[in-house]
Structure 1
Amino acid sequence: MLEVEAKFAVKDQEAVRAGLNRKGVRMGRRQQERDVYYNAPHRDFGETDEALRVRYDDAGFTVTYKGPKVRVGNAKAREEFNLTVASGETLEVILSRLGFRRAATVSKVREFYEIGDVTVTLDDVEGLGTFVEIEILTEDDKEDAADRITAIAKELGVDGPPIYTSYLEMLLSKQR
């Protein structure tokens, strides 16, 4: 599965909420997420542009692998695999015993809005600020997905330049 997304820094999420409301889109859910990222013992995910994370949220625990990013228009695409696990803590112990080491933790409050197969999230990321992400999951049509994301961003009045770095990369860069 490919995740195609565009991320934008926004100072005023209320304006984006208003744009969503004008389109008749209501918030599906709001949740706290804590993402614990790991680096592999046999290669540096920072160099290979991969990510391995354990997510803690209201729904439970998920391990996610993300492949290297590819630019597609004003969006980025990357292969993504998710697996729900019974215990995030147990998974973290297993990863640690296998030599994986914690890279960083990203905490955010996220609001979810669905427009058909498009997910719009309003994110308040601890230590980084507020953002809008527009995402489509697709098997292979990343160009069409990127074009649709650009159109939705314009409809919602999101006009800043897209951000191609992940929250993890932004946080690590800020810590340096």
Structure 2
Amino acid sequence: MPWRTAHHSGNRPAAAPGRTRCPRHLPPPTPMSHQPRPSPPNLLGNRTDHGTEPAGRTTMRYIEVEQKYQVKDITALKAALEKRGAEPGLTTRQVDTYYNAPHRDFLAPDTISEWLRLRESEHGDSINYKRWLPADAVVKTHCDEFETPVEDIEALRRTLQALDFTIVIAVEKVREEWTVPGLVEVAFDTVTGAGDFVEFEFKGQATEPAEAIAQLDAFIADLDVELGDRVNRGYPHILLGRER
């Protein structure tokens, strides 16, 4: 509502008790600063600060490309990774709890194509949604992935429960992470009730999934190490006895 300016002759009447007279001319408002908010602590690799991703990663921001194998000779594989400049990182215990949704049964299709997961670990908790593609294919090539750190995982757990999300299974594992900077992350997983596996996840620059898959294939082939059988199922699939 605009200010009204009253015109008085003589002395201006005093303001009523308890009220402060507004100034006739207000100073212009100070422009708000539009500085970007600082990024949260990076608990999930390069997934929390997408504003600094290299050009070419933009279209792959929320797409995951990875391959999983059974471990055959872990010593030879680590030696080959070191030759490629891989750097060993953290070893963590992780508990991944998978949920089913009240509005859509993730387990109903012949091929499970999506999961909602809460992860607890010593180095930070997170929530993750994945939808594998092609959706109806037995062998998935990539997935849409949305992942972010969680400050209060118990509050989120209670929220999901209140919204009628139900727990499907909890997967416990010990993960040792290796990184080839700007190219691949390698995870050596010992999964309770399932065994030992290695996952290669693409972290380089690509404009589409096919390009990322080709680079990951080339990286694995260049290691020149005999791997175990390729695994085209997630850990929940294995523990639930689902083939796909």
> CA separation of 1:76/1:158 partners in 2, compared to 1, >3 Å: closer, same or farther?
farther
Alignment of 1:113-128 (within 5 A): 113-115=178-180, 116-128=182-194
Higher relative contact order (CA 8 A, sep 6+): 1
Supply the distance in 2 between the matched residues of 1:98 and 1:140 (Cα, whole angstroms). 37
Distance 2:140 2:76 in 1: 22
Residue identity in the other structure for 2:97: V
Matched residue, 1:64? 128
Q: Which residue of 2 aligns with 1:26?
A: 87
Q: Please tell me the root mean square deviation across aligned C-alpha atoms, in Å.
A: 2.2
Identify the residue that residue 173 of structure 1 maps to in structure 2.
241
TM-score (normalised: structure 2): 0.65
Q: Alpha-carbon deviations, 1:71-116, whole Å to 9, x = none?
A: 99x8720000012111212211110110000000111111111112
SS in 1 for 2:233: coil
Work out whether residues 8 and 132 of structure 1, in 8 Å CA contact, stay in contact via their aligned partners in 2: yes
What are the ranges of 5 or more consecutive residues in structure 2 without an aligned counterpart? 1-61
Q: How far apart are 1:150 and its partner, in Å?
A: 1.5
Give the Cα–Cα distance (whole angstroms) in 1 for the partners of residues 117 and 81 of structure 2.
30
Equivalent position of 1:146 in the other structure: 213
* Residue type of the alignment partner of 2:200: I
- What residue in structure 1 maps to residue 70 of structure 2? 9
Of Structure 1 and Structure 2, the greater helix share is in: 1
Higher mean displacement: 105-114 or 156-165: 156-165
* Count of residue pairs brought into register by the alignment: 173
Q: Take 2:155 and 2:226, find their aligned partners in 1: how far apart are those partners?
A: 40
Which of these two proteins has the greater Rg computed from alpha carbons?
2
- Shift of the 154–91 alpha-carbon distance from structure 1 to 2, 3 Å rule, reads same
Q: Which has the higher strand share?
A: 1
Give the aligned partner of residue 94 of structure 1. Answer: 159
- C-alpha separation between the residues in 1 aligned to 2:240 and 2:213? 27
| Identical counterparts, % of pairs | 35
> Gapped runs of 5+ residues in structure 1?
none
User: Contact 1:110–1:123 at 8 Å: present in 2 too?
Assistant: yes
Distance in structure 2 (CA, Å) of the matches to 1:112 and 1:120: 6
Which residue pairs with 1:111 in the alignment?
Answer: 176
SS in 2 for 1:45: coil
Out of 121, 130, 134, the position equivalent to 2:196 is: 130
User: Are 1:5 and 1:75, in contact at CA under 8 Å, matched by a contact in 2?
Assistant: no
